[in-house]
Structure 1
Amino acid sequence: MRRFALSNLRDYGMGKKASEEKIIEEIQYLIKVFESHEGKPFNVTKSINYAVSNIICSIIYGSRFDYSDEEFKQMVNRANDTLRLSGTPSVLVPLSFLLNKL
């Protein structure tokens, strides 16, 4: 499973200069969000979720979303809810034998 994931991630640019540039670009957007709070405390969870989601989107789809885009916010919230409701991914490990049967 690990080998499969790594080979597919390499196909999408993991470890290449282009993916590094996309990460740096997204970090610049994230820094602007942090600076907009002018040193006042705030919950960074959503901002970091948006940044990570945008990095994935820019590597896979070639474009990013604005943090204020309502459709993007809903997409990230749905993904978070799905992960929260399904528990940890480790609960699926015992079922991995089914993949060999398919």
Structure 2
Amino acid sequence: MKRICCALLLCLPLTALAYPTEVEKSLNGMEIDVQTQDIGDTMGAVLLQNYGKQDVACSATFQNGPENPKVRKAVIPAGKTKNLTASFGRSIIKLRVKVTCNPA
């Protein structure tokens, strides 16, 4: 019983670091996979993977509460991966990301 309690207590700090992330995708028929990443309490990231046969221009808008949205843009070559990150001035409580992709 003590081992179970210790294991639960050790897992507690790992769950306290995560924050919820909402992703809105507008991929316009492009073969893009969007994965969110939790880097820290003031940074958010999105990993974009292009599975298509053509280059794709993507834009990600990161919004954390009342702070100004941060826009990151990238052109992702066919078969490649790009990581878009945004840093905020305060801790993230809930991160909203809007990803828009079009043919390059």
How does the TM-score come out when normalised to structure 2?
Answer: 0.28
Structure of greater relative contact order (alpha carbons < 8 Å, 6+ residues apart): 2
Structure with the largest fraction of strand? 2
With normalisation by structure 1, the TM-score equals 0.28
